[in-house]
Amino acid sequence: MVSTISVIGLGKLGSPIAACFAARGFQVIAVDIDAQKVDAIGRGVPPVHEPGLAELLQESKGRLLATQDTEAAVRDSEATFIVVSTPSEADGGFSLRYAIPTCEAIGRALRNKDSYHLVVLTSTVMPGSTGGEIKSALKRASGKRCGQDFGLCYSPEFIALGTVIRDFYYPDFLLIGESDPRAGDLLSDVYARTCKNSPTIARMNFINAEITKLAVNTYITTKISYANMLARLCEKLPEADVSVVTYALGLDSRIGSKYLKGAVSYGGPCFPRDNRAFAALAARSGAFSDLAEATDRFNRAQIAALAGLVKSHQSGSLPVGILGLTYKPDTDVIEESFGLLLALELASANLPIVVFDPSADLPRAFAAHKSVRIATSAEDCIAQSGIVVLATPWQQFCDLASSAWMQPFRSGPSFHATRRVVIDCWRALPHLEGSQNVHYIRLGAPAPAPHFATATISAD
């Protein structure tokens, strides 16, 4: 039975995972080459943005240590979880440039260990990697036999930023690709003592687990795109409403309601790249990749489609406000986010853009785009904009007082007030429906006739 765990990689997943294990009673040694992250963990301060992590670190005091010494952490633990980045490559696959050196360091530590040690790779990799380069690096550096002297498992997490802690404690299921039954048994026991529910554990060989990880996310992206396709259809048909359609669709147990929102394109650090990797894998293998490729094309096309909608409601050059630049609420990640890509698309058309997000590092994101203005608050973003797009449904945006939206836009004391256009990508502002003070457009339903947001010089 494992009682001490080392977690290598203190990024957006590794830090919460280490804290989750410690809070459930394991002794945890957290490892990262970044001294600032190690210091933060030592002080009980979250090194990354994740809701609930600060409280979890306090709960973990005395059971969570941090170090930059990978080999020492492995020697002093019984199981090691690898949570390092596997960046996307130009061909759609994933790079092992961080994973292999990590495995070599683990192997060096195992060389002088007599006891059986469990190594768990959680990072997403291309099928064939775990039983290939990963296992070879461990064996080569350790001089030990996989399946006898040490165990190896591939066990990627199906958790989302912003809800990492909840998803880790309450998974729908757990996926384990195992080198041998002993490794799978040990990892299953660790999960049983960590999870707060009783998830089904799917145990299999490495390559089936690797395919499953990509297949799950590719299926979800296809489902999201299908719902978005329905939304675009409903926008063209009188009295149609994608919320009504997807609600009924989700009642069918063969389909289910998750990810059937019908809104805007998916983004973030996992869905886009996993979908492309699946397509690349299929193409390399000589299998059809048409569905995954079509999903990716459709997803990318959503940015241009909404940019076109924005332009159709503008005459002149009034500022366009974009609320929400993270790919989802409760995270600071803007990687391939809808709001960010929309802002860049509109900025490339020389439209004046105003942006706000409560969490994202916007000065860094728009450092090369000086024409994009960064508002100080959601209210400030709205006040500066003749057209406002709700791109990410942060709860604080949805809770704004109606007056923040309904006050007429003025670009200066010498301009007439004009009724603001509000494009609600998530149908999260129902209180604006039917308002005479704003031109409210909700995606997934037929849009009202275009209202051109123009500024007219006045003698006032």
Q: How many CB atoms lie within 10 A of CB 196?
A: 12
Q: How many CB atoms lie within 10 A of CB 312?
A: 12
* Cβ atoms of residues 319 and 352 within 8 Å: yes
Determine the topology of domain 4-204 in CATH. Rossmann fold (3.40.50)
Q: Is the dihedral of CA 177, 182, 185, 188 positive or negative?
A: negative
Length of the chain: 460
Tokens 């999201």 map to which residue?
224
Instruction: Give me the tens of pLDDT residue by residue for the chain, a chain 460 residues long.
Output: 999 999 999 999 999 999 999 999 999 999 999 999 999 999 999 999 999 999 999 999 899 999 999 999 999 999 999 999 999 999 999 999 999 999 999 999 999 999 999 999 999 999 999 999 999 999 999 999 999 999 999 999 999 999 999 999 999 999 999 999 999 999 999 999 999 999 999 999 999 999 999 999 999 999 999 999 999 999 999 999 999 999 999 999 999 999 999 999 999 999 999 999 999 999 999 999 999 999 999 999 999 999 999 999 887 778 999 999 999 999 999 999 999 999 999 999 999 999 999 999 999 999 999 889 999 999 999 999 999 999 999 999 999 999 999 988 876 554 556 789 999 999 999 999 988 889 999 999 987 665 555 444 333 3
Closest CA to 80 of 57, 99, 53, 56: 99
Cα–Cα distance for residue pair 16/4, rounded to 1 Å: 17
Structural tokens at position 53? 């992590």
Cα–Cα distance for residue pair 109/105, rounded to 1 Å: 6
Which of 20, 103, 146, 270 is catalytic? The answer is 270
Closest CA to 70 of 34, 94, 20, 44: 34
Cα–Cα distance for residue pair 31/106, rounded to 1 Å: 12
Class of domain 215-299: mainly alpha
pLDDT value of position 451: 58
pLDDT value of position 317: 78
pLDDT value of position 459: 34
Q: How many CB atoms lie within 10 A of CB 350?
A: 9
Tokens 């058309």 map to which residue?
349
Task: Decide the pairing of beta strands 372-374 and 387-390.
Answer: unpaired
List all residues 6 or more positions away from 285 whose beta carbon is below 8 Å from its beta carbon.
none
Structural tokens at position 212? 């499953």
* Cβ atoms of residues 305 and 440 within 8 Å: no
Class of domain 302-442: alpha beta
* Cβ atoms of residues 275 and 296 within 8 Å: yes
Cα–Cα distance for residue pair 326/339, rounded to 1 Å: 7
Domains 215-299 and 302-442 share a fold: no
pTM score, two decimals?
0.91
Known catalytic membership, residue 270: yes
Q: What is the DSSP string of 22-83?
A: HHTT-EEEEE-S-HHHHHHHHTT--SS--TTHHHHHHHTTTTEEEES-HHHHHHT-SEEEE-
pLDDT value of position 457: 33
Cα–Cα distance for residue pair 40/45, rounded to 1 Å: 5
Domain boundaries, the chain: 4-204, 215-299, 302-442
Structural tokens at position 47? 């090194």
